[in-house]
């Protein structure tokens, strides 16, 4: 089943998996999930497929890994800050 989710819903998708797990199992489980970003869309399975981790013991650990693998433009504009005037 394919579905598209917003970036802020990634954690809920990853929480539904059984842990501990490995990147290959997560890639397969999330293959049909597309994540809408500020600058386009990515396949959640493809993002996880780039991970070099050997295993994930919690949804939080996996969510952190996914966020680190997303493109720079995933959230808002790069090099911008709410504090800039």
- The answer to whether residue 85 is domain-embedded is no
The share of the chain scoring above pLDDT 70, in percent, equals 85
Give me the pLDDT at residue 83, please: 52
Instruction: Spell 13-52 as b/e; 16+ CB within 10 A means b.
Output: bbeeeeeebebeebbebbeebbbebeeeebbbbebbbebe
The 10s digit of each residue's pLDDT in 44-69 is 999 999 999 999 999 999 999 999 99
15-37 mean pLDDT: 94
pTM above 0.85, yes or no: no
**50: domain range?**
3-74
Number of domains in the chain: 1
Average pLDDT over the chain, rounded to whole?
Answer: 87
- The answer to whether residue 84 is domain-embedded is no
- The answer to whether residue 83 is domain-embedded is no
Banded pLDDT at 82 (limits 50, 70, 90): low
- The answer to whether residue 52 is domain-embedded is yes
């Amino acid at each position: 089943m394919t579905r598209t989710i917003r970036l802020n819903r990634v954690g809920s998708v990853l929480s539904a998996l059984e842990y501990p797990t490995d990147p290959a199992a997560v890639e397969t489980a999330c293959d049909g999930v597309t994540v809408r970003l500020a600058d386009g869309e990515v396949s959640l399975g493809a993002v996880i497929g780039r991970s070099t981790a050997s295993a994930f013991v919690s949804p939080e650990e996996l969510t952190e890994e996914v966020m680190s693998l997303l493109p720079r433009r995933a959230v808002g504009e790069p090099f911008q800050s709410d504090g800039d005037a």
